[in-house]
Each structure stands twice: as C-alpha cells, then as structure tokens.
Amino acid sequence: MFNKFFQFLRGYVIIRIYGKGAERFLNICVRRGINVWNTLPRENGIEMTVSLNDFFRIRSVARKCRVKVKVIGKRGLIYTARSYRKRYVFLASVITAVILCALSTRFIWLVEINGVENSDINGIVETLDRMGVKSGSLKSKLPDGMTMKREIIANTDNIAWAWVYIEGAKARVEIYEQIIPPNVIDKSVPCDIVASCDGVIKKLIVKNGEKVAKEGSAVSAGDVIVSGKVGVYREEQPEEYIYVHSMAEAQAYTTHTKSGDYKLYYESRTPTGKRKKRVTAELFGKAFTLPFPKIDYGDFDASEERREFNVPFFGYTGIALDVTEYDEVTVNREPLPLETALEFAKNDLEAKISAELTPMSSLTDENLEYEKTDDETINVTLRMNFIQNIATEQPLGGE
C-alpha cells in the first residue's frame, strides 16, 4: 500500500518495448539498478512500468539493444496536477479540503466510551469533561494518558483499568470493570445478622452472637436477628458488652410476588421488500438530519450504520454519516390460547423471582392469578412461598 502511494508521489511511466532485443533490454536494466515492475509479455514485445527518474536512463539501454520504446501511459502526482492546472476552482477546493482536514484533526469531535456495563457512565462523562475530553476540545491541551487514567479510576467505582486513545479527531475510552467479589465480612469485624427479606422465622441456629428474634416471629428486611453486641454480667461489674462477629442460620417462611401485563396474541413481522434510507451528517460534533425521504411506513424495522470519514495520516476528521435503514414490515397477529399465554407469563415471572432468592431455597407452594385488562391483555400475578435462609451479615451500626 505505502509503496504504491510513494510511487504515485514520485511518478512513473508505463512503456512497451518492441524488437528482438527486448529480453536483453530487461536484463541490462536489472543489472544497472533501473527500477522496473509489472513486467508483462505482449505481442512483439514486453510491457513494463518504470519510475519517472529511471525513465531517462533507459535511452542509452534502448540504443544499445536496438529496441523501440513506446510510452503507453503516465501516472503520478505531477501528471495529475498538470491535468488540473487550469482548473483553479477545483485546485482551490482540494487545497482548502486538505487544510480543513488537517485543522479538524487538531480537535476532538467525538468521544466513544466502551466497556461500561455496571459502572456510572454519567460519572465517567463528567470526569472526562473536567479533563477536557469532549467535543470541540483542543488535543494539545489534553492531559497525558497516565493522568487521564488515574482520574477515571479515582472518580469511578469498580473500574480496574482505563485508557484514552486519541485517533484523529476521536477519543476512544476503553474501560475494564472490576469483578465484584461476594460481600463477605472479615471474621475479625464485629457484625449483626439481619434479615435479607420479609419472612416468618421457622428455625434459628445461632453459632455466635446474641439472639434477638425468636422462632415463629415475623421479621422485615433489615431487622436484626442476631446481635453482635453481647452482654457480659459479672459481680464486680454488673453489666458490660463485648462485640463479636455474629454467625447464624435463619430458616424462614418467605413470600415473593411478581406481576406483569401480557398479550393474548403473538406478532410476526414479515418484510414487504420496501426500504428507505435517511442520512444524518455529523460535522464536528453537530448532527444534521436530512428531512428526506419521508418515512411514511405504518410498521417498520430500523437498523443503523455509522460511516466515519478517515484520511490517511490524519485519521478521523470529525465528519461522519449515520445511515438509518427503514424496512417496511407487515405485522400479523396470531391469537394465543389463554393457557399458552399463562405459561409464558409464569416462566417470565419465575425468572424474576429466582433472582431474589438465596441459595438452597425450597419452594413450598405457589399461586398464579390473572385478570383481563382488555380484550387483548391480561395482568398476571405469581405468588411463590419458600423456606430459605434469610440471614445476612451486616457490620455493627448498619454500615
């Protein structure tokens, strides 16, 4: 790629050699270090490409070999410039475009953040803004890479690594989040045992700490079941306390309820084959959407594609096109039997409830209820009862 580019800058000539000494001509050129390439056999001769500088050196070789040299074509920057030398408006436009591209890449026009799933994206954006990593900022005024990395990690929780890559007029921020370990309190830290959810205690086994709740009592989420503040009674000092790391298992009857609206039909979307495209031009951080074509489809599926304008040696120039394709579809509704809709709803609600359960929870019974909100919609409520361990550790003071 780069060889072709530099050959174009220097210029080259495509020639054809006629005569019996064509092969000898080629051998002498190689021995004398004359740069020739794209050598192809042709009728009564050989076609080849030679650089513009070496073209003037082949005359003596041609006379020595008694061959005829015919110029087939001329390529390169110098010949292209000559063909446009009288088109002043075009040349001025090209020069202006090159200058604008060079100037635009001195600024940041697009900030792209990748790798954020659980972290505070708004906090990352605010941190980048404070450092000047935003649309329209001058690249020479940005802090160095290590400073930006430290600021992002220091001001955002759960980030293990970050880096800002400057690619032309685009700042690409790569984020790697920490893998958050389970919330386990060190055994040397005093703590209470609290209820993770509402329930009625069935069985309470205390291994360390002072029992607060009793078997058969109802507790709410956050209530202390076993206290880490243990009273000690002595004759010389009637009452004092020690603080321990409570440990206990609290099996309780719990109830989890979820509800949602579900349709009594299934939609299938069939493309009609009609498609329209709408283009949004992004120029140096500003978006301009073309008002045409008019999207008059009743139902459609949309897909987006981004095309960034990059220039060799400059990178991203701050100019991009966002192309949105609209495919018209025909929506067909197929009625669902009530039993099928309830089965789908139950599976969906069970999945939501399971996310709230602790390990080794045991289902005791469940109840599914529904009511029609309209002719096409039902509201489904799933109530599931479990026996589960609701004991969870919490540092003293609720921190």
Q: CA-CA distance, 230 to 212, in Å (whole number)? A: 11
pLDDT in tens, 40-55: 887 777 888 888 888 8
Mean pLDDT, residues 241-251 taken together: 89
273: helix, strand or coil: strand
Q: What is the DSSP letter of 140?
A: G
CB 253 within 8 A of CB 385: yes
Give the residue from 283, 307, 331 where a domain finishes. 331
Task: Report the C-alpha gap between 259 and 34 in whole angstroms.
Answer: 82
pLDDT confidence bin for 395, thresholds 50/70/90: confident
Q: Based on the domain organization, do 327 and 272 belong to the same domain? A: yes
Angstrom distance (rounded) from CA 250 to CA 201: 7
Q: Is residue 281 part of a domain?
A: yes
Per the structure, the complete domain to which residue 47 belongs is given by 2-81
Residue 98, H or E segment: helix 88-104
**Domain check: are 198 and 231 in the same one?**
yes
**Residue 2 scores a pLDDT above 60:** no
**Number of neighbours of residue 225 by Cβ within 10 angstroms:** 26
pLDDT in tens, 362-382: 999 999 999 999 889 999 999
One domain, residues 217 and 195: yes
Same-domain pairing of 138 and 172: yes
Query: Of 133, 155, 177, at which residue does a domain stop?
Result: 177
131 and 156 share one domain:
yes
Domain assignment present for residue 35? The answer is yes
Indicate whether 184 belongs to any domain. no
For residues 366 and 340, membership in a common domain is answered with yes
State residue 399's pLDDT score: 44
Residue with tokens 């009452």: 239
Does residue 99 lie within any of the structural domains?
Answer: no
Q: What count of Cα atoms within 13 Å lies in the side-chain half-sphere of residue 211? A: 12
pLDDT, tens only, 294-321: 888 888 998 888 888 777 666 777 788 8
Q: What is the CA radius of gyration of the chain?
A: 38
CATH number, domain with residue 151: 3.10.20
Task: Output the domain CATH number for residue 44.
Answer: 3.30.70.260
If one counts the domains in the chain, the total is: 5
341 has a pLDDT exceeding 50: yes
Give the pLDDT of residue 1.
Answer: 46
Q: Give me the mean pLDDT over the 12-41 stretch.
A: 84
In a domain, 241, yes or no: yes
315 and 298 within one domain: yes
In a domain, 32, yes or no: yes
User: Residue 70 falls within a domain, yes or no?
Assistant: yes
Same-domain check for residues 364 and 384: yes
Domain contains 228? yes
- Rounded to whole angstroms, the Cα distance separating 1 from 24 reads 31
